[in-house]
Amino acid sequence: MDFAGALSGDHLKFLFNGFMVTLYIAFISIVLSFIIGIIIGTLRYAKIPVISKVLALIVETIRNLPLLLIIFFTYFALPEIGIKMSITAAAITALTVFESAMLSEIVRSGLNSIDKGQIEAARSSGLTYIQTLSKIVMPQALRRMVPPIVSQFISLLKDTSLAVIIALPELMHNAQIIYAQNINYVIPIFILVSVMYFIVNYGLSLIARRLESRQA
Amino acid sequence: MIDLSILINNLDTYLEGFKNTVLSSIIALIGSFILGVIIAIFRISPLKPLNWIGTAYVEFIRNIPLLIITFFFFIGLPALGLTLSGFVAGTIALAIYTASFIAEAIRAGIQSVPKGQMEAARSSGLTYLQTMTKIILPQAIKIVIPPIGNQFINLVKNSSILGIVAGLDLMYFGDIVSSTTFVTFDVYIFVALFYLVLTIPLSLGVGYLEKRLARNH
């Protein structure tokens, strides 16, 4: 094992750059997924005849597929039907598709957790259904969604590593390039990369826990 | 349209991958459950050092990607002189990773049983072990089953990690089929269907248990 060689300044910088890509891709994907997740989750909650059922089918299908398959498919299979994307676009698309399905479930259960009596009260005091949703139900539900969304972001940060199969230059990919040079770098790099993921994710999980206990 | 002949002509290859995905999932499921129970016992144990080990395991493993753990067994151990096949390395990694989530689900379940029950049982003369097995665990198990079921669904999906380390699973054999047929789209649609054959019934089962146990509660 060669700790000094593996953890040289250049290598650290290269890993740091990779980690920035990981954070960047994960952040963009979670923001997009949040927007799409809110729309899908609300449409499913509102039980609009055909639409809710179709969305349920799509969400359940995506949630039950491996993310690795979705990433691979987006980059390697979609070009066969004419949809060609850059590596970065494919990574963001695949992660967003998968995470939107996950977040829509968080949104839906957040909305469902609000007491039905409040909807009846709001409706009978003259608010429309849309007003009730946007002014009464959604603001309360959003607060309850924050901790599970932070947890989902942690999963997403970890899952971004799966984009190594399409050679996205994120942390794991850059780590691979470094330890491929010298077998004595493998263990030191694994330790360092694990610690990098751990610090960020553990920090986020502490935030999620604090938010949860504040609400309880 | 999707070309069905790809599925028919390569059915044996697909089934070989499907078999290995199922096999890896079952082995990892059993392994992660046993390991998860041990870690959960560590975490709630009154002995401080065991407690630390349990907490360190759960917090560390949960917060790093499964891919690193897999690469550790597939690339890291060979660097130290121990070579494992992709299937073995991936399956061990799956078990170790999933165990941290199962341990956490079990701990949460056990701790959701009110503390007063432990005190009441202990003061009425039961030992710690008797209290655990007769009073606490039977109640905790109801709370714990749905989250553990969800972890098993995740495990089946995560088993696709074997594809990255040539672990002979569905993803791996999908790659073989697509390199012989020169088709990717149709080939992986069938791979996806094979995964859904496993995960959809599991999801429905867990959903059903969740509803039933919630009603009894």
Which positions in chain A touch B80 (Cβ < 8 Å)?
187
Q: How many CB atoms lie within 10 A of CB A145?
A: 24
Query: Cα distance from B130 to chain A (closest Cα, Å)?
Result: 32
Mutate one of A1, A68, A80, A105 to test the B interface: name it (highest B CB count within 10 A): A68
- Rounded Cα–Cα distance for residues B95 and B86 (Å): 14
| pLDDT computed for residue B216 by the predictor | 61
**Which residue in A61, A161, A202 is closest to B196 by CB distance?**
A61
| Percent of chain B topping pLDDT 90 | 74
* A198 interface with B at CB cutoff 8 Å: yes
* B212 interface with A at CB cutoff 8 Å: no
Band (pLDDT 50/70/90 cuts) for residue A216 is: low
Query: Cα distance from B80 to chain A (closest Cα, Å)?
Result: 8
Could you tell me the two tokens for A65?
């597929």
* B66 interface with A at CB cutoff 8 Å: yes
**A80-108: average pLDDT:** 96
Judged by CB atoms closer than 8 Å, whether chains meet at B65 and A187 is answered as no
Contact B23, B182 (CB under 8 A): no
Band (pLDDT 50/70/90 cuts) for residue A94 is: very high
CATH of the domain at A154: 1.10.3720.10
User: For A64, which residue in chain B has the nearest alpha carbon?
Assistant: B199
Band (pLDDT 50/70/90 cuts) for residue A116 is: confident
* A166 interface with B at CB cutoff 8 Å: no
In tens, the pLDDT along B25-78 reads 999 999 999 999 999 999 988 899 999 999 999 999 999 999 999 999 999 998
| pLDDT computed for residue B137 by the predictor | 85
Positions of chain B with pLDDT under 70 = 216-217
Please name which of B158, B183, B150, B216 lies closest in space to residue B5, comparing C-alpha atoms.
B183
* B214 interface with A at CB cutoff 8 Å: no
Cα-Cα-Cα-Cα dihedral sign, residues A173, A174, A177, A183: negative
Query: Cα distance from A55 to chain B (closest Cα, Å)?
Result: 16
Band (pLDDT 50/70/90 cuts) for residue A169 is: very high
Which positions in chain A touch B22 (Cβ < 8 Å)?
none
**A99-107: average pLDDT:** 95
| pLDDT computed for residue A60 by the predictor | 94
For residue A153, the enclosing domain spans 3-215
**A122-151: average pLDDT:** 90
| pLDDT computed for residue B105 by the predictor | 94
Cα→Cα distances A28→A22, A25, A70, A99, A112, Å: 10, 5, 17, 11, 27
Cα→Cα distances A166→A5, A169, B185, Å: 28, 9, 16
CATH of the domain at B197: 1.10.3720.10
**Which residue in B64, B67, B75 is closest to A162 by CB distance?**
B67
Task: Quote the number of domains for chain B.
Answer: 1
* A151 interface with B at CB cutoff 8 Å: no
- Rounded Cα–Cα distance for residues B189 and B47 (Å): 51
Query: Cα distance from B65 to chain A (closest Cα, Å)?
Result: 5
- Return the residue matching tokens 């597929």: A65
| pLDDT computed for residue B40 by the predictor | 94
- Fill in the amino acid letter for B160: S
Please name which of B208, B190, B185 lies closest in space to residue B10, comparing C-alpha atoms.
B190
Query: Cα distance from B71 to chain A (closest Cα, Å)?
Result: 8
In tens, the pLDDT along A39-72 reads 999 999 988 889 999 999 999 999 999 999 999 9
Mutate one of A58, A59, A62, A64 to test the B interface: name it (highest B CB count within 10 A): A64
For residue B75, the enclosing domain spans 4-216
| pLDDT computed for residue B217 by the predictor | 53
Task: Quote the number of domains for chain A.
Answer: 1
- Fill in the amino acid letter for A193: V
